């Protein structure tokens, strides 16, 4: 006999496994939770999140849709589905989902941050800035949001507030390679090539896969009129 409480136990163990980076183990536990209780919306939502992180976009979409069907006011499921749609370049659908998420839970900082990234992709810098400001008011510990807001300031050619945000991102998460790369680009735009090189070197030390991004971004900065 399968007891409903067992489903919660598997779901909770899945959360623990997800936190330590065991994506496969988390999916196995969430799947077992759903097998025991097919109406456990949290299990679908959690499995959606892991599948999204593992780039299984179609599987993640199926799970998010089922979570929303079972619990139409689950803000986190809309946020995750927004991120899937963003990855699929369905920007209108992603915007609608992020907006639905914050309408259900106005304190969901990650959804404001995610919507900020989407607005930047649409070149709506003021809208993106407003979303990042809201996210950081709710949760000042979001290192990625500081990094992303810094990039908005850099897009606006306001380099001092940009560097201030990159500094905050690095202070919160010293292993955030993107923040070093972003700060290096801002310093390069200021003409501080030596400081920029140090940031690029640290970024690559943390994540060598950023090399093509950094090289292309440097070329862009160097060809901008000063």
Q: Decide if 147 contacts 159 (C-beta within 8 A).
A: no
Question: What is the pLDDT at residue 194?
Answer: 96
Q: Is residue 27 part of a domain?
A: no
Q: Which residues have CB under 8 Å from 220's CB, separation 6+?
A: none
CA distance 81 to 97: 7
Answer whether residue 57 is part of any domain.
no
Please give the residue range of the domain that contains residue 158. Answer: 147-226
Is residue 67 one of the residues assigned to a domain? no
CATH number for the domain including 163?
A: 1.25.40.10
- Give me the mean pLDDT over the 163-189 stretch: 97
pLDDT of amino acid 222: 83
Percent of the chain past pLDDT 70, that is, above it, reads: 97
d(CA 81, CA 49): 9
Angle of helix 75-87 relative to helix 109-121, nearest 10 degrees, comes to 20
Dihedral sign computed on CA atoms, order 130, 133, 138, 144: positive
Split at pLDDT 50, 70, 90, the class of 122 is: very high
Report if residue 48 sits inside a domain. Answer: no
| pLDDT on residue 74 | 97
- Asked if residue 169 is part of any domain, the answer here is yes
- Above 60 in pLDDT, residue 103? yes
* Number of structural domains found in the chain: 1
> Which of 79, 144, 84, 154 minimizes the C-alpha distance to 115?
79
Residue 223 reports pLDDT greater than 90: no
Per-residue pLDDT, averaged over 32-58, amounts to 96
pLDDT, residue 1, reads 44
Burial 159-196 (b: 16+ CB within 10 A, else e): beebbbbbebbbebbeebbbbbbbbbbbbbbeebeebb
* 207, pLDDT greater than 50: yes
- The answer to whether residue 193 sits within a structural domain is yes
The answer to whether residue 167 sits within a structural domain is yes
Determine what percent of the chain is predicted with pLDDT higher than 90. 94
If you ran DSSP here, which 8-state letter would residue 22 be given? -
Answer whether residue 216 is part of any domain.
yes
Average pLDDT, rounded, for the chain: 95
Is the model's pLDDT at 219 over the cut of 70? yes
Longest C-alpha distance within the chain, in Å?
72
Q: How far from chain centre, in Å, is Cα 85?
A: 13
**More confident call, 5 vs 105:** 105
Query: In the structure, what pLDDT confidence band is assigned to residue 224 with cuts at 50, 70 and 90?
Result: confident
Across the range 118-140, mean pLDDT stands at 98
* pLDDT at position 225 over 70: no
Our CA angle for 21, 119, 113, nearest 5°, is 40
* Nearby residues of 94 by Cβ (< 8 Å), 6 or more positions away: 82, 83, 85, 86, 118
- Dihedral sign for Cα atoms in the order 121, 125, 127, 131: positive
């Amino acid at each position: 006999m399968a007891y409903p409480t067992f489903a919660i136990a598997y779901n909770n163990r899945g959360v623990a496994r997800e936190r330590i980076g065991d994506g496969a183990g988390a999916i196995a536990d969430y799947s077992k939770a759903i097998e025991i209780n097919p109406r456990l919306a949290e299990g679908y939502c959690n499995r959606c999140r892991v599948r999204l992180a593992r780039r299984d976009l179609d599987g993640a979409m199926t799970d998010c849709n089922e979570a929303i069907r079972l619990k139409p006011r689950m803000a986190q499921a809309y946020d995750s589905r927004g991120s899937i749609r963003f990855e699929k370049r369905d920007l209108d659908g992603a915007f609608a989902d992020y907006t639905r998420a914050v309408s259900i839970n106005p304190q969901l900082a990650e959804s404001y941050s995610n919507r900020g990234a989407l607005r930047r992709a649409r070149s709506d810098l003021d809208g993106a800035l407003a979303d990042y400001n809201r996210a950081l008011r709710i949760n000042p510990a979001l290192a990625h949001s500081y990094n992303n807001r810094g990039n908005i300031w850099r897009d606006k050619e306001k380099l001092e507030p940009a560097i201030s945000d990159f500094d905050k991102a690095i202070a919160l998460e010293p292993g955030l390679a993107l923040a070093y790369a972003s700060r290096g680009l801002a310093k390069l735009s200021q003409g501080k090539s030596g400081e920029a090189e140090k940031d690029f070197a640290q970024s690559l030390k943390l994540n060598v896969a950023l090399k093509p991004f950094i090289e292309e971004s440097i070329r862009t900065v160097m060809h901008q009129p000063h």
